[in-house]
Amino acid sequence: MAANTAQEFDSVIAVCRSLFLKKTKDYGTAWRILRPASITDQIFIKAQRIRTLEEKKISKVGEDISSEYIGIINYCIIAMMQLELDENDPMELDVQAVESVYDQKVQETKELMFNKNHDYGEAWRDMRISSLTDLILMKILRVKQIEDNQGQTLASEGVNANYQDMLNYSVFALIKLGVQ
């Protein structure tokens, strides 16, 4: 495994983490109000915007696709956190506690990425960014179907694994875009 991948992953996550913690200090944990389907829809909106920008090549809002991939990463982490919390947990969480859980979710996802990279030989490095976008959209549709089935699956991984894959695809895209 290329040591470069670990450094690139950590560098991208540092950008995402910094923004997430700043927003947590600004807004608190207002995201706690979001139901799982709403988080999935937020990720969908961001991925769909990336695809639109990839096809039309023009942004009328002024934000590039990098900011959308960063948003996907942070919403995936929010989703994974929400999966462990329930309505009995407080809406407002301590910033340090959120930071700790954020880091835990990133570490779990990074370990998954290294395991998959070992088996797939870092194939993502030869993929187009648009293919990573399409994979994220496919994963979102899978999550939506699992949510519609009240979380029941017959032969598939659950929603958490799909959020981890979307997070990793977004990190790959940001690495390829040169975000560090």
Please state the rounded mean pLDDT for residues 97-109.
97
C-alpha to C-alpha distance for 74 and 32, rounded to whole angstroms: 13
pTM of the entire structure? 0.93
pLDDT (mean) for 128-152: 93
User: What pLDDT sits at residue 1?
Assistant: 43
Please state, in angstroms and rounded to a whole number, the distance separating the CA atoms of residues 77 and 148. 21
Q: How confident is the model at residue 56 (pLDDT cuts 50, 70, 90)?
A: confident
pLDDT tens per residue across span 30-45: 999 999 999 999 999 9
Res 166: pLDDT = 98
